[in-house]
Structure 1
Amino acid sequence: MSTVEEMTERNEENFSRAAITLLKGIVSRGRDEVLWQFIVNDRSALSDYFRRIGLILIIDEVDEYAYLKQEDAAGLLRLVQRYQLSYPVSMLLVQLRKALGEQDTASGDTRLVISFADIMRRMEPFLPVPGNEMKFRQSLEHIIGQVMQLGFLQKLKGSEDEYEVRPVLRSFVDAQWLSDFNEKLAEYEAHGQMLHQGAAEDKGDENEGEEGLLGEFVRNE
């Protein structure tokens, strides 16, 4: 096989890997430098490819992530799925987005590391009063796990209780999202206070199907 043929085959393999990974979820430079560089360098070809099937390639070179978005107006079968978020998951996303905003104001640093204790402090007013601390921690760990699956939180290597809030959260929980949320805030806060005060029983996953705040996102790989 000639050098040109080898390069062509390698480029095709990289293109296929990039396309498949993007269809699976969010791609970030921190997770795969080689793949990230290929996506950035070959964005035109990738964008043309995805446009044919009604998808838009979004690349943020500041926060260094890429993902696919599907426009409802395309009238095609949905490739990027919608997920309904439960009340606690929606609330955790809001708290994490607020933490990002606080850090942006304080330091301008785009990398936010948050501890389990800080998450617990932020979420405690909106969750049911626990029968014991262990049950409360397990419930919160379950919520955090769901947010990690969505690709918005990532556990730090070598740490048991610290997480990085992935900057892609800014794109999904944006100003419009927060504006819509503010219209429902009183209802959500009332619900959270009711849970916290024990006026509503903890019914496990019963609220998993209730309407969430986040419209569309891609699941992390």
Structure 2
Amino acid sequence: MTRPATRTDLHLPLAVTALMKGVVYRDAHETIWPHLVGLAPQVADYVASLGLTVFIDESEGYAFLRSKSDDELADLGIPRLVPRHQLSLHTSVLLALLRKRLAEFDSTDSGPRLIVSTEQMVEMMTPMLPQSTNEARTVDLVETALRRAADLGFVRRIPKQEGKFEVRRVIKAFVDAQWLAGLDAHLAEYAEILAEGR
């Protein structure tokens, strides 16, 4: 059993370096998480000098870096360090559907982890696609979007379970409650755009 880290054991470069690599999760980064939480103010000060802000959600168990706005960066005289990610329309739709599914899952108090399968996501995406889209093409679109979502840290493949993914709670920070409130309207817009083949 490992003893909890004391203040003198905490390591700022370890916490910052981990954040620079991507989202840090309490359950996946057990050795890094105590350093990050224990040094949160110092981490915030350090990354601020790079034009970044740190977002830590202790209750959900994740942390990530976000770039300051372009205006703030211009005032600081520094370039953007964290690149913007351009998402395909299909990936955007997938993330919106996953966020909606997570909200429904949380409202039923079904447990801490939402697991979805490729088949479930194909079923959810099919109504959003043009009727002419064949099943093989739909599966390919969903698998491509799932790979992109996994690369960005929004889903995690379940080891030894083919086609199973855990929806990571960090998705809540990117698809927030205000956006979620208008989700049906957003999904209708997406469906219309996809139907038109744009």
Q: Same fold (TM over 0.5)?
A: yes
4+ residue segments displaced more than 6 Å: none
Closer/same/farther in 2, CA of residues 184 and 99 from structure 1, 3 Å limit: closer
Correspondence for 1:66:
63
Correspondence for 1:54:
51
Alpha-carbon deviation of 1:119?
0.8
Larger Rg: 1
Structure 2: tracts of 5 or more residues without a match: 1-7
Q: 2:22 aligns with which of 10, 15, 25?
A: 25
After TM superposition, the structure 1 stretch with the greater mean CA deviation from structure 2, 45-54 or 97-106, is: 45-54
3-state DSSP class of the match of 1:93? helix
Alpha-carbon deviation of 1:182?
5.8
Alpha-carbon deviation of 1:81?
1.5
Structure 2 length-normalised TM: 0.83
Number of equivalences: 186
* Percentage of matched positions with identical amino acids: 35
1:86 aligns with 2:88: yes
The amino acid of 1:74's aligned partner reads E
The whole-number CA distance in structure 1 between the counterparts of 2:72 and 2:112 is 33
After TM superposition, the structure 1 stretch with the greater mean CA deviation from structure 2, 145-154 or 54-63, is: 54-63
Structure 1 length-normalised TM: 0.75
Q: 1:43 aligns with which of 33, 40, 54?
A: 40
Alpha-carbon deviation of 1:175?
2.2
CA RMSD in angstroms, aligned pairs only: 2.4
Correspondence for 1:4:
none
Correspondence for 1:116:
118
Contact 1:22 1:68 in 2 (8 A): yes
Higher RCO structure (Cα 8 Å, ≥6 apart): 1
**Within-5 A mapping of 1:1-221:** 14-72=11-69, 73-75=71-73, 76-107=78-109, 109-128=111-130, 129-131=132-134, 133-178=135-180, 184-192=186-194, 194=195, 200=197
Alpha-carbon deviation of 1:180?
6.7
Structure 1: tracts of 5 or more residues without a match: 1-7, 201-206, 208-221
